[in-house]
């Protein structure tokens, strides 16, 4: 006798039962509709890529998270890995097909990605991303549109309490240049990215442990902690002191380069705020946060992180930014891009905690159950079910001629809205009983009026 294998889910992975899966599919549908409304077109790329495609674009830390894939039979001539995001494969895709696609090219893609990292609240080793990107333009209009899409995306999913925090890597890079830290950019930016999680002192300790001078680390942190409506004004007012401090610390070489880069980043952020306001985005929805750094190495301009204000502890649920050099690994053609990614599984985890209205508890996509009252009438039950489906109503016919009470209990447990019942008496009269399961109300409807009555009851 064979030993039974204990059914279990791996750490960092999760199953989706029907009620959650229905909500998940609805989020995907709404995201798809928003992306399409802006002209983004769908593409897809393989789950596996050659390791030389994946490695080296997200930085050393991302490289450590890549799952290597090996054939059980040792076949194939390339080392492979599972994609850790949808952006790097898109860069490869763009370099491969851009002459056919033309620019600017706007795409969206939805699918699973894998990262070998420690699981946590809303953080999984396998999760879905829902990306949208514009490639082939450096225009700030594309960066601004990215923020507008994020706003419309969360509004469409049914959130009104969220904020889009934005920064610009030119501001951060300008600060690094000003304080002589460009060669420490990876260390500094990754430390700053943890500011809300581990606090200022721990961030300072992490930077100084990597040979970042304490005075320079403190100077950079003092600026990155600016946030809110006055952050850009405060930063602009401080540009003069940046030059003074740099002159004292470094004797003045390249003193102007950093501040000029900061000024360029500020100008882009100001335009973003102005256009978003003119386009009707609610005041306060988009916020400047100079601590937003994004840990991946490939960002070059505006960067975005989106937080649910009722549940900020779960982290950003939609992030992204501008990446002007990402495709340079695959082509000499310059292919600048900007985009963002909705983290579907983290968002679903947040929706569970917040008891979001999309999580209705319904575990069936069908709205109507046709009760199997009399097994000899199965043909009539299937006939009426097909007529309702043709009218756009999702219908399930119960497979067994069990007691009506048992079938109605099945319908209530799974979240059907209506039950349709007909036995010998109803067939003789040419009517169907329509039962509203929530209201526990029942009415006899002539068959000729049944479709209209059900459509009205479902509105």
What's the average model confidence in pLDDT over 329-356? 94
What's the average model confidence in pLDDT over 407-424? 97
The CATH number given to whatever domain includes residue 429 is 3.40.50.800
Sign of the Cα pseudo-torsion (151, 227, 200, 63, in order): positive
Predicted pLDDT of residue 248 = 41
User: Does 391 share its domain with 414?
Assistant: yes
Domain for residue 440, yes or no?
yes
**Of 304, 321, 354, at which residue does a domain stop?**
354
Predicted confidence (pLDDT) per residue in 206-224, tens digit: 999 988 888 888 888 888 8
What's the average model confidence in pLDDT over 447-458? 97
Distance CA 136, CA 268 (A): 18
Check whether 309 has a pLDDT greater than 50: yes
Check whether 103 has a pLDDT greater than 90: yes
Place of tokens 């809110």: 228
Domain for residue 13, yes or no?
no
Confidence category of residue 259, pLDDT binned at 50, 70, 90: confident
User: Does 374 share its domain with 303?
Assistant: no
DSSP label at 329? G
Query: 229 versus 379: which is more confidently predicted?
Result: 379
Residue 123's nearest CA partner among 293, 348, 297 is 348
> How high is the mean pLDDT of the chain?
91
Domain for residue 381, yes or no?
yes
Query: 242 versus 68: which is more confidently predicted?
Result: 68
User: Does 330 share its domain with 373?
Assistant: no
Predicted confidence (pLDDT) per residue in 161-200, tens digit: 999 999 999 999 898 888 888 888 888 888 888 888 888 8
User: Does 233 share its domain with 270?
Assistant: yes
User: Does 321 share its domain with 388?
Assistant: no
User: Does 335 share its domain with 378?
Assistant: no
- In percent, the amount of the chain with pLDDT more than 90 equals 69
Query: 248 versus 445: which is more confidently predicted?
Result: 445
Predicted pLDDT of residue 57 = 63
Residue 369's nearest CA partner among 410, 397, 390, 391 is 397
CA distances from 128 to 27, 47, 83, 337 (A): 12, 12, 11, 21
DSSP label at 104? S
Find the domain containing 435 and state its range.
368-458
Confidence category of residue 148, pLDDT binned at 50, 70, 90: very high
Number of domains into which the chain is organized = 2
The answer to whether the CB of 198 falls within 8 A of the CB of 209 is: no
Predicted confidence (pLDDT) per residue in 280-304, tens digit: 999 999 999 998 988 667 889 999 9
Predicted pLDDT of residue 256 = 54
Predicted pLDDT of residue 6 = 95
User: Does 246 share its domain with 378?
Assistant: no
Predicted pLDDT of residue 254 = 47
Query: 93 versus 57: which is more confidently predicted?
Result: 93
**Of 301, 328, 354, at which residue does a domain stop?**
354
The count of C-alpha atoms lying within 13 angstroms of the C-alpha of 297, restricted to the half-sphere facing its C-beta, is 16
The answer to whether the CB of 293 falls within 8 A of the CB of 189 is: yes
Domain for residue 436, yes or no?
yes
> What sections of 72-213 are H helices per DSSP?
87-101, 140-157, 169-178, 185-192, 195-198, 200-208
Check whether 141 has a pLDDT greater than 80: yes
What's the average model confidence in pLDDT over 352-358? 94
Task: Please state the pTM of the whole predicted model.
Answer: 0.90
Predicted pLDDT of residue 104 = 96
Check whether 143 has a pLDDT greater than 90: yes
Domain for residue 2, yes or no?
no
Domain for residue 401, yes or no?
yes
**Of 354, 384, 402, at which residue does a domain stop?**
354
Q: What is the DSSP string of 248-278?
A: HHH-STTTTHHHHHHHHHHHHHHHHHHHHHH
């Amino acid at each position: 006798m064979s030993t039974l294998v204990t059914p279990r889910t791996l750490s960092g992975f999760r199953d989706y039962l029907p009620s959650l899966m229905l909500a998940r599919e609805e989020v995907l549908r709404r995201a798809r509709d928003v992306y399409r409304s802006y002209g983004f077109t769908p593409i897809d790329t393989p789950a596996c890529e050659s390791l030389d495609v994946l490695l080296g674009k997200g930085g050393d830390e991302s490289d450590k998270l890549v799952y290597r894939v090996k054939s059980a039979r040792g076949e194939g001539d390339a080392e492979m890995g599972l994609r850790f995001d949808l952006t790097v494969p898109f860069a490869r895709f763009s370099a491969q097909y851009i002459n056919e696609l033309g620019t600017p090219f706007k795409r969206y893609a939805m699918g699973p990605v894998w990262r070998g990292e420690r699981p946590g609240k809303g953080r999984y080793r396998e999760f879905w991303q829902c990306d949208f990107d514009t490639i082939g333009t450096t225009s700030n209009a594309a960066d601004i549109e990215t923020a507008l899409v994020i706003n419309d995306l969360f509004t469409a999913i049914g959130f009104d309490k969220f904020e889009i925090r934005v920064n610009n890597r030119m501001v951060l890079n300008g600060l690094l240049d000003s304080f002589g830290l460009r060669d420490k950019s990876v260390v500094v930016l990754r430390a700053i990215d943890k500011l809300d999680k581990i606090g200022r002192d721990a961030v300072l300790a992490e930077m100084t442990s990597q040979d970042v001078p304490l005075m320079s680390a403190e100077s950079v942190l003092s600026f990155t902690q600016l946030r809110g409506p006055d952050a850009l004004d405060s930063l602009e007012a401080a540009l003069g002191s940046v030059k003074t401090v740099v002159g004292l610390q470094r004797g003045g070489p390249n003193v102007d380069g950093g501040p000029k880069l900061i000024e360029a980043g500020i100008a882009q952020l100001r335009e973003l705020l102005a256009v978003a306001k003119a386009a009707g985005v609610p005041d306060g929805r988009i916020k400047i946060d100079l601590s937003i750094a994004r840990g991946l190495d490939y960002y070059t301009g505006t960067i975005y992180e989106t937080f649910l204000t009722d549940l900020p502890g779960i982290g950003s649920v939609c992030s992204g930014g501008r990446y002007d050099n990402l495709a340079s690994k695959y082509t000499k053609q310059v292919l600048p891009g900007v985009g963002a990614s909705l983290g579907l599984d983290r968002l679903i985890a947040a929706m569970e905690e917040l008891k979001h209205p999309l999580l209705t508890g319904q575990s069936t996509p069908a709205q109507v159950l046709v009760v199997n009252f009399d097994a000899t009438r199965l043909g009539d039950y299937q006939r009426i079910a097909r007529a309702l489906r043709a009218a756009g109503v999702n219908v399930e016919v119960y497979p067994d001629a069990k007691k009506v009470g048992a079938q109605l209990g099945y319908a209530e447990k799974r979240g059907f809205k209506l039950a349709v019942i007909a036995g010998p008496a109803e067939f003789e009269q040419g009517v169907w009983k329509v039962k509203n399961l929530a209201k526990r109300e029942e009415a006899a409807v002539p068959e000729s009026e049944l479709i209209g009555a059900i459509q009205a009851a479902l509105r």
